[in-house]
Amino acid sequence: MTVPELRQSRIAIFAYFFVLGVATATWAARLPAIKESLHLSDGRLGLALFAVPAGSVLTLALSGRIADRFGAVRVLRVAGVLCPAALVPIGLASGPVAIGAIASGVGLRDALLVPAALALVVAAAAGVMRPRDQARTETGGRW
């Protein structure tokens, strides 16, 4: 990778994880209000939130292929728009089934987009790290 490509990769990686962190924090901060407004018990909310890992597991088999086919950068560009847009349905949820469907979509989004971001991380690290740095990292940085 050239220096401008490495810079662009670092900016894209930072921006993606920043947007994902803000979206996750927004989602998590809304959970008590969602629970109260929909009159959900702890068990029903927990069951609805179980859809996050369920959506992730179902998507993981395809996420690498999608990033390979369309390119990690293109997938992350789409993610930059869809990640905040995925928060809108949270406010429109009308019951535990709707929360479960939204949570499944959050898990699907995460499982689809995190591998693409990590592919950019690996590419950027390979372009920056020298073999000695790589060896030091793999041995726990002891020497």
Vertex 56 angle, CA 5 and 52, to 5°: 120
- Looking at residue 139, what DSSP letter applies? T
Higher pLDDT, 143 or 28: 28
40-83 pLDDT tens trace = 899 988 888 898 888 888 888 788 888 888 888 888 888 778 77
pLDDT on residue 128? 59
Report CA-CA distances (Å) from 120 to 10, 13, 127. Answer: 8, 7, 11
